[in-house]
Structure 1
Amino acid sequence: MVLRRFAWPFGGQRASFCGSFTGWRECPMGLVGTEFQVVFDLPPGLYQYRFLVDGVWRCDDTKPIVRDEYGLISNEMLVTLVENNTHPVVQREPSSIGRMNLDEGTILTTMPPESPSRNSGMQIAVFRHRVSEILLHNTIYDVVPVSSKIAILDARLPVKQAFNIMHDEGLALVPLWDDGQGTITGMLTASDFVLILRKLQMNIRVLGHEELEMHSVSAWKEAKLQYYGGADVAGMQRRPLVHVFSCTFSRLLSSD
């Protein structure tokens, strides 16, 4: 944990503090000399915070500032373990000492103009931390455009669940993934659904809805292959997706 002191040296009658580490709950600040102060014991991490001065949300434009996706701006701070567990000194311009006016600081309705940064090292560290967070908590799939994403179903899924997914996602066909082979071994299509419905309509007693939830897509594909012959993809070499063939599916397909 690292002790960090936050200060508002730009005047006002009363001031409160809130940050991402407080759940954005307001914490009162005490007046010490000519500035309001509050101290927190923080774990390492990247944090945002704001000041509420006389009922107006403000930020300190002498510290790093960021804008969120909603257009709100906040001060930002990176806490690292290399810092000493002492109260940090708050740097201020000499001209602000002893002055108590609200012309300093920035109201949180506009982004302050960029000025020569005295915190370039801090900004670089913040940028590196953000990049690290993105690399650690996101995958390539997250940045792939939706139009380029492909839905793939596990061949071990129950038939009913697989068709429910296809219906919910609006898919007419979907590739089947065999985890044992580590490859796509076929396609589940709307025609499979139609065939199952036809067989159920012809002899509902052969396979009830409860049993349909117990048998996998791979069992259905194997039964279909043995009954109708031919592979899903011409010329594709296949080996059984399941070692034990479902007699129930066999009876379903062979029933008239």
Structure 2
Amino acid sequence: MSQRKKSLAQRIRFWLTSIVLTVFGIWIAGILLFSFLPVPFSAVMTERQVGAWLSGDFSYVAHSDWVSRNEISSWMPLAVIASEDQTFPTHWGFDVQAIQSVLDSESGQMRGASTLSQQTAKNVFLWAGRSWVRKGLEAMLTVGIETVWSKKRIITVYLNVAEFGEGIFGVEAASQRYFHKPASRLTMSEAALLAAVLPNPVRFRADRPSGYILQRQQWILRQMRQLGGEGFIRQHKL
């Protein structure tokens, strides 16, 4: 290899290493800062906004209004836990049974069943889509936020960055948009309806719920009662 080619290869390695270290540094700083500061925007919000601009849709605005946990009705964290991650208060970031079922499956394909901690890590720091690289980074970030953040902080951030509709991010923006009131006044039924659309908030509508969404809402309500209602949230200090 000529001296010029060696020099070029060294420069490429240097810049790649610098980029990787910078990204990891930003993630570490984000985990530390967002343990007590509001999250101004998430990676998913940025991806949606840039995607809209690139497609020529300049009317799209990714909107979120940060609120503290005390400004969110206790029915809302209960609804998302009942809907998506019932072991959230006690696990360390991962659903071990779901991971084992993926490993045991013949296809080996990645599936859902991500915990709320994993979804928070993905929404705040990563891009959408499915790949083993992204899942690996998601796992690393999940360990980070589970180590630094409390469960109450994780659920607060999740509820503030979750996508509830076209350009609608966070429970406060969703509550104002769909029910014309602050998130602190959401009822049990309203919280369950918002949680029902989370698997696909672009396809499913909280303001025009399909029969499937209404059925899912009722299932979530039953799960919320079985968990113990608001007593579950008080018990786990969420």
Q: How does the TM-score come out when normalised to structure 2?
A: 0.28
Point out the structure with max Rg over C-alpha.
1
The TM-score normalised by the length of structure 1 is 0.27
Q: Which has a greater percent of strand?
A: 1
Structure with the bigger RCO (C-alpha within 8 Å, sep 6+) is 2
Q: Greater helix percent: which structure?
A: 2
